[in-house]
Amino acid sequence: MAIADNFDMEENVGDVRRDHFEGWSAATELSEATTDYFRDSVQGTLRGHLPSTFDPDLNAAALLPATVERNRKMIRLERIDTLIAPRASLDPRLSFERLETALRDKDEETLTAFTELFAEYRGERPAFAAPKIEVEDDLAEPDWLHRLALRLGLYHFFPVKAGETFHFALMEYTGFDVFAQAEPRRIDRPFALATVLECQNNPAFFPVPSGTPHGFTVDLGPPGGPTVREVLHVRLDYEHHHVVRFGTLTGPLPAPDLVGARERHRATLRSTTGRPDFGASRMADAS
C-alpha cells in the first residue's frame, strides 16, 4: 500500500520522534497506531494543546527555521459541508448561498459568523498550505476549484457519485498571520515539513528527502504541470478577511489516477531534489 511505502521513504522523522511514536499507542496495526498518534499527539483534544509537530525537542528534523518568509501569501482549501450543514437551518446566514452573497457584498458580520465555526474544531490540528503564487494561473480559470483540487493532491475532495455536491471555501493569509497565532503560545517555529505522522494515512501524501526546505503536493492532474510547494503550519483561527472565494464541485467527477500520479511525483521529486535514489524500493498499488 501507499501508506507503507510512505513510511519506508520517510526521512524527516528523527530518532526521538520515532521513539515517541512507537511508544504512544497499543495498536498493533501501523495504520491504527498512526491514527491514534495523530488524534492524541498531533491534533490533541483540547485547544492550547502543543502538537508534537511543533515541539523542537521531538521534531527538530522536520521543523522549518523561524526565518520563513512572513509576507508570503498562502492559500488553503477548506471543504465546509460538515461545518455549515448542521447550522444552516438554525442560522439562515450560514447557508452556502447566503455565504456567497455575504462575500460578494463584503458582509463582515456574516463572514465572521462563518469563520467562528472553525473554532469549534477540537484540538490544534496543523494545517497544510501552499504559496498562492504557484497556483495563480489556476485561480484565474473558470474551473479554478477543480484545477486547485487536482494541483494540491486533494484526492478526498472529489465527488465521484452522480448528484453529489461538495462545498468549499478558499482561504488566503500570510506568514505574518501564522506567526501572530504562534507567538502567544511561545511556538518559535510554526512551520514544518509534513511527515507520515501528520498525513493521516493519506495515499495522496508523499514524503520528501531530508534537507528539503518544503514539501510538494502530489499533482493529480495531467502530466507536465509544475510542482506546487507545500508546508505545514500551526492551526490558524480564521478572520473574515481570510475568506476569498466559495465554490462547489458536483459529481460524478472521475476519480484521479492516484497510482500514476504517485509514480510521476516520485520521478519529479528525484529530479527536483537531486536525489535519484529517493524511494528506490518499488511503490505498491496506491489503492
Question: pLDDT (tens digit, 9 = 90+) per residue, 8-32?
Answer: 999 999 999 999 999 999 999 999 9
Q: What's the pLDDT tens digit per position in 45-103?
A: 999 999 999 999 999 999 999 999 999 999 999 999 999 999 998 999 999 999 999 99
Q: Give the three cell numbers for residue 51.
A: 502538537
Residue 1, pLDDT score: 74
pLDDT in tens, 197-243: 999 999 999 999 999 999 999 999 988 877 899 999 999 999 999 99
Whether the predicted pLDDT of 165 surpasses 70: yes
* pLDDT-derived band at 163, boundaries 50, 70, 90: very high
Percent of the chain with pLDDT over 90: 93
Percent of residues, the chain, with pLDDT higher than 70: 98
Q: For residue 102, what is its C-alpha cell?
A: 455575504
The two counts, helices (H) then strands (E), for the chain are 11, 7
Q: What DSSP designation does 19 have?
A: H
pLDDT at 281: 61
CA angle 41, 171, 156 (to 5 degrees): 60
Per-residue confidence at 286, pLDDT binned at 50, 70, 90?
very low
pLDDT at 285: 42
Tens of pLDDT along 103-139?
Answer: 999 999 999 999 999 999 999 999 999 999 999 999 9
CA dihedral 210, 215, 219, 223 (to 10 degrees): -50
| pLDDT, tens digit, 9 for 90 and up, residues 209-221 | 999 999 999 999 9
User: Could you tell me if 230 and 129 are in contact, meaning their C-beta atoms sit under 8 angstroms apart?
Assistant: yes
Q: Model confidence at 248, in pLDDT bands (50, 70, 90)?
A: very high
Once rounded to an integer, what is the mean pLDDT over residues 257-275? Answer: 94
pTM listed for this prediction: 0.94
Three cell numbers written together for 11: 526521512
| Backbone phi, psi, residue 161, to 5° | -95, 145
> How far is it, in rounded angstroms, from Cα 128 to Cα 108?
25
- CB burial of residue 210 (10 Å; 0-12, 13-18, 19+): middle
Asked if the bond preceding 252 is cis, omega within 30° of 0, the reply is yes
Please state, in angstroms and rounded to a whole number, the distance separating the CA atoms of residues 268 and 263.
Answer: 9
What is the reported pLDDT for 224? 81
At residue 223, the pLDDT reads 87
